[in-house]
Amino acid sequence: MTDTPAPLPSDGAAPWWARLRSRRGGRQMPQRVRQAIEDQEDRSEILIGWFQLALIAVFGTFYLVAPRAEGDPMAGFRPVPFALAAYLVFTLARMWLAYRRLLPIWFLLVSIAVDIGLLIGLIWSFHLQYEQPAAFYLKVPTFLYLFIFIALRALRFDPRFVFAAGCGAALGWIVLVGYAAWDYGMEPPVTRDFVEYLTSNTLMVGAEVDKLLSIAAVTVILTVALMRARALLVSAVTDAAAARDLSRFFSPEIARTITGADTAIAAGDGEVRDAAVLMIDIRGFSRHSARVEPSETIRLLADYQTRTVPEIERHGGTIDKFLGDGIMATFGATTPSRTAAADALMAMESVLLAGQAWNAERTARGIPALPINAAAVAGPLVFGAVGHERRLEYTVIGATVNLAARLEKFNKAMGTDGVTTHETHAAARSQGFTPRLATLESPGRTVPDAGELDLTGFRVPRPQQAETAGALQPASAVDLPQGGGHAA
């Protein structure tokens, strides 16, 4: 793992070396974002190592197929094989460390020094190899390999290392030019004639300045480009982390809607869809929570939601919001569906059965049972963004939503665990829904603030009903003040 950078001062007065890397205006990056970027950098170092091995293979191949480049075959000084062998050993060691995430910053700088140093040393050796004055090596095309080593560091998306490689290359070439001038003694042969410069071992100051300017220009351009690219990388990683966080606080469908919007989402953006709404609630939760510690209430909710939410999602539902002990889920709202009613009723049955198993566990541990009630309604609703421009929320609104909320509370009057309208039940059956629980058809029921409706109730078998598994007894006259009812 690479070294963790020191926190940057909030006033933006960080050292220029640190600012080269951060590009965040002096702000501290969140730990998870920094970790994600470091993971990317670790993978980049592995990629750089493979490129270095490829360069060694290419240089070695050139050396083998073009032996005349070594000059006089009688000359005993052959530095290329030794330089390549040494570079291969160092690169393999570097690869080993890269795969184990053990490359500290200082080692990466040493690696740059080794890259540039070996190349500069190899270029310097040419005048000995060919028995020429030192100025001879200033004209070899191997000089161009310096740009390869500078560009290689761009793979890490960290401008510091491109800058370091460029400075090392420029310093190395200055040393070579200085040595070439020193090798001639007090009066090195300097020319302004370009032809003479190319056809003799003379020095041309302008040519060497051009080379240094080329190194500087490439270094500066790549450094600036990487500073911009790194800012985009940090932004992309931050956005990806935010999207992952959104999927924890919102349903994945809502998170994708938010992050994938072509334009900025504004309050009032929405559309009418045929969908279904499922409302779930714990009966007696307020009385129970008043008797226990707040921490116990939170643990209870977490346990309850851990059991119910997967059942909703398993049937294609989207969690719209948590309402204390209540859960509001939608089917076919975020993503249109032709089976929204069936999915909602299947999810409702699964939630009620999960609640039955949960309460059986609580009873076995000597903890009071907390029955779960639910209601599902299918119909037209509006799906969109509501709120203020600085605080928006994706949700569903409309008569369908309101009716589902009222029916959930009507379970007590129905003597049922789940309830839906006759229309929703019929639509679900046409979409392939087959009830697993006993149902109760209850026509002509007056629901407060909703009027007279034909309803279908669902009830989870109670332990005492084991002998009549699945049979739902008609509710008492108290439970069914209007219209009676019959078991289906």
Q: What is the DSSP string of 346-390?
A: HHHHHHHHHHHHHHHHHHHTT-----EEEEEEEEEEEEEEEEETT
Q: Is the CB of residue 97 less than 8 Å from the CB of residue 49? A: no
- Predicted confidence at residue 249, as pLDDT, reads 62
Q: Give yes or no for residue 24 having a pLDDT over 60.
A: no
| 483 pLDDT tier (thresholds 50, 70, 90) | very low
Give residue 347's pLDDT band: very low, low, confident or very high (50, 70, 90).
very high
Question: Which pLDDT does position 437 carry in this prediction?
Answer: 92
Q: Which residue has the tokens 């006259």?
A: 477
Q: What is the pLDDT of residue 261?
A: 56
* Average pLDDT rounded to a whole number, residues 431-455: 91
**pLDDT average, residue stretch 368-385:** 89
pLDDT band at 264 (very low <50, low <70, confident <90, very high): low
pLDDT at residue 5 greater than cutoff 60: no
Q: Dmax over Cα atoms in the chain, in whole Å? A: 120
Mean pLDDT for 173-190 is: 84
Nearest-angstrom CA–CA distance, 442 and 482:
9
| CA dist list (Å): 345 to 150, 277, 281, 305, 467 | 63, 10, 15, 18, 26
Mean pLDDT of 199-205: 87
Closest of 190, 203, 196, 337 to residue 274, by C-alpha: 337
Q: Can you tell me the mean pLDDT for 379-396? A: 76
458, containing H or E segment: strand 451-459
Mean pLDDT of 447-471: 74
Least confident of 45-59, 154-168, 179-193: 179-193
Work out the average pLDDT over 255-260. 61
**Confidence (pLDDT) at 239:** 73
d(CA 187, CA 201): 14
Q: 399: closest CA among 453, 467, 350?
A: 453
**Both tokens of residue 8?**
């940057």
Confidence of residue 116 (pLDDT cuts 50, 70, 90): very high
Contact 270, 381 (CB under 8 A): no
Band the pLDDT of 132: cuts 50, 70, 90.
confident
Q: How far apart are CA 243 and CA 2, in angstroms?
A: 26
% pLDDT > 90, the chain: 34
SS3 432: coil
Confidence of residue 69 (pLDDT cuts 50, 70, 90): very low
Q: Which domains does the chain have, with CATH numbers?
A: 16-247 (no CATH), 266-487 (3.30.70.1230)
pLDDT confidence bin for 358, thresholds 50/70/90:
very high
pLDDT at position 18: 53
- Return the sign of the alpha-carbon dihedral for residues 222, 225, 227, 230: negative
pLDDT value at residue 220: 94
pLDDT band per the 50, 70, 90 thresholds, residue 240: confident
- What are the residue ranges of helices labelled H in 137-204? 145-152, 159-183, 194-199
R_g (Cα) of the chain, nearest Å: 37
Q: What percentage of the chain exceeds 70 in pLDDT? A: 78
In the beta sheet, which residues pair with residue 420?
Answer: 376, 456
Label residue 484 left, alpha or beta by phi (over 0 means left) and psi (-120 to 50 means alpha): left
* 186 CB neighbour count, 10 Å cutoff: 5
User: Under 8 Å CB-to-CB from 266, ≥6 apart: which residues?
Assistant: 385, 389, 392
**Between these two residues, 312 and 190, which has the higher pLDDT value?**
312
d(CA 305, CA 261): 29
Sign of CA dihedral 45, 46, 47, 51: positive
- Residue 190 is given by DSSP the state B
Mean pLDDT score, 433-451? 91
